[in-house]
Amino acid sequence: MFCPEPVFRTKIAIEKMQVGEILTVRADDPAAEDDISRWVNRNGHKLLSLKKNDNIIEFSIKKVK
């Protein structure tokens, strides 16, 4: 999936979660690293970790609000 799809799907998943829950997102679009990181910060959530393994980027996001 190419952007904005990873951000869009992350947004939908976060909306279904309770505050304090953690979402793991895996993306293979290089643009997702910046796009999802910015979306998380802009929306007041917390990026717990970002890992890269070959062409896969894995985010751990905590829902804050």
SS (H, E, C) 1-65: CCCCHHHHHHHHHHHCCCCCCEEEEEECCCCHHHHHHHHHHHCCCEEEEEEEECCEEEEEEECCC
- Residue 9 a catalytic site member: no
Which one of 1, 2, 3, 64 is the catalytic residue?
3
What is the model's pLDDT at position 65? 85
Q: Walk along the chain (65 residues) and give the pLDDT tens digit of each residue.
A: 556 788 999 999 999 999 999 999 999 988 999 999 999 999 999 999 999 999 999 999 999 98
- pTM equals 0.89
Please give the Cα distance from 65 to 46 (Å, whole number).
10
What is the model's pLDDT at position 5? 81
